[in-house]
Structure 1
Amino acid sequence: MAKLSQPHLPILDTAEPLDAIIYDVVIVGAGMSGSLLALTLLTQNPQLKVLLLDENAQRLESTQEKEFEYHPSFDARCIALNAGSVDILSGLSLWGDIKAHAQPIESIQVSDKGYFGGAELTPELSGEAFGYVVELRRVGKVLSRTLAAFSSLTTLHQVKLTDLNQQPELIQCVLDNGQTVSAKLCVGADGCHSQVRKLARISSSLSDYQRSAIICNVRCNKVHKNIAYERFTKSGPIALLPLTDNRFSLVYCVEKQQAEQIADLSDSEFLAQLQKKFGYRAGLFEQTGKRDIYPLNLLKTTKPLSHRTVCIGNAAHSLHPVAGQGFNLGLRDLFVLATIIAASDDVGSFSMLNDYWQCREKDHHSTIWMTDSLVRIFSNHYPMLSIPRNIGLKAMNLFPFLSTPIIEQSKGQFDLFNREKLS
């Protein structure tokens, strides 16, 4: 039985049953991308009727301190927000609350195991922090409080999408509780195994990197000084991102068949193995938190659109975490989508969706290409690649201007709307 979250009751106080309402936008998935899209839509146009479908149980207001610990989208994982994402969140009046729990990245040290030297990217090259690291559960609490203020948002919990009926002027979403809801546009924000993408027959491809990421928070005996580390090894990169309370968020990429065995080691055994792989650049590893495993794949869509349907976030693209670009790309997507919807006379129309994709196609291709190239160049030890890549790292140290294109791409500060294509 679907449960309606309390802050959004007014929409159902009308004489119309839920099935009779035609929403402007139905968002399938109430994780980071879905919740942020709902907020962005209603910030830009509070009159929009938005329905948010969440397959998870309702999170009670009385347990806000714990509510996101069990929601799969707002767990202890961390995200690295680049400068472009900070700009977007500031425009949504979210950044002030998020920044209180975020840690800046002021320097990045890159090294390759088995080879001398490396590269250091410093603030002098970019003029500002490279980005900020924050735990998802912190962002989730800020989003929950902010969304509660919008009476035109309806949230249904514990429901799953079972079918889509695409009609000329609207789209019908069939739910597993027997209800059918209608909207001008359906947005799939339901992750890499997206039901929306499947039902709308949106073409996608999946490349398996044959690696898994072990994710946890760790603490070293040295003060991290807002330094992030990227250490490339034969089995994949190891990333340490600075967190509050002198912690690091660890992304430890290992061969898929070894991931469970490594994650299940005792804390002392796990830290000893990590120390051997990573070295002592960050100091001595002293503590580790709960460890989770995530398979590493590249999922991309040819075009994340269908009739009155669009996919965003991991439903449209799921990237390797090596460059920390997946969420930032998704945030740019949803911001542009919300802006175009807010200005549209025909939400969900072919022309509206086509405008959206014209804005986003170039950014999609360049960000995905950059991330995938980094993975394939640095996640192997073939001599034909090992020697040139280490020469490249040393060259970036000697000639800092060589790293400028990488820094500019990673900052995410460029024309989101690709206005040349729209003119």
Structure 2
Amino acid sequence: MDSDSERGIGRRRLLRWGGLAGAGVVAYGVSPATGRPGHAGTYKSQPDRIPPDTRPGGAYDRYIAKLAAEDRFSGVVLLSHRGRTVLSRSYGMADKEKGTRNHEGVAFNLYGGPFLSLSIVQLAQRGEVKLWDTVGTYLTGFAKEIAEQVRIHHLLMGTSGLSFPEHDHQRVFGSEQEQLEYYRQYTRQARLVAAPGAGSNKPGWGAEVAVQIVEAVTGMTFWDYVHEHVFGRCGMTGSAYYTRPQWLADEHIAHSYMKQADGSRVDAVRNLDKGSTHPGLAGQNNARNFVPDGGFVTAPDMVRFAKALYDGTLLDPPWADVYTSVKAPNFRGSPGFSTYGPPAHIVAGQWELSRGGIHPGSCSHWSIYPDTGWVGVILANQDDIPLQEIAGKQRQAITGTSPGGGR
């Protein structure tokens, strides 16, 4: 691995994704190691070329249309190059009862958003936290060994060594305060079962603990902090940590449709007594949270987030390096590398930052290719979406690799 790779996805290089093209430097195909054109990009001989598979009518577009026709996709896909939309497609219903169709401006329940770790790094930039501080520096009520040994760095890396009891997934929260108090008490039941930093994210990384550090330092709920310091700064006007009542009332928020044992799908937010039948989420329903986990985002807003991450809007250049740089091989059993933000992979000679996953009745995947300026977003609002397969097709369209390959 060259010296630039060892540093991770350097801010100096990331800025090339859009900011320098107008100054006569070609962003597509710039070498991350040397700064010279002609090394990193798959289409390095034609820096401005848009791969045909990414265009309307191309292979990726036809693939998504086929899935939708087979009732295997409901949602939005978007491909953007240097901030310009190349492909945007919407299928299915955002709210079947009201007859509202999915469209680019609809917000979907996001899995594994990058906003928590980003918030911590923002606070570190401002000198309000130190990444090597322990949990006990900011929070009380934890066992002594946790308070004194588990550090913020461990929480962000998934190497805290913490184990938590099973959540009460059947509980329906009636207010923000009730939900906040539940999680405050829940995290204090944590046990330290492995040495912090030992190299494994099992059996839990403690996101709820990191959330409470943000709240303790800022005096705001985590949701309010993200609204002001992330969504507000990026111009993500369609995205928010909406409450359950807002989810019911706002027609621009896609309802999540959970598959049931008889093959039918039910609206999660209108059927709090129903749960997922997915093996890893059995009985769960994210709408039981007063503020559902992950928040809600629109596809164009995720493109705005990508741009803001690299143009100084969210973090100063050195701190953007801290957020996106590779820290270690991925401990989660998949190829790639761990960062404080989304996992990083090397695909066809360029970096890919990506994260995906499922909530009951919804799923999401988003990818950022900082060397070439591509962003891919997949947002869906029903179960049984072949998310991994779609992500592979998206990667193939952008990079020219085989689905799931090139890493």
Please state which band the TM-score falls in when normalised by the shorter chain.
Answer: under 0.3
Higher relative helix content: 1
TM-score, normalised relative to structure 2: 0.25
Higher relative strand content: 1
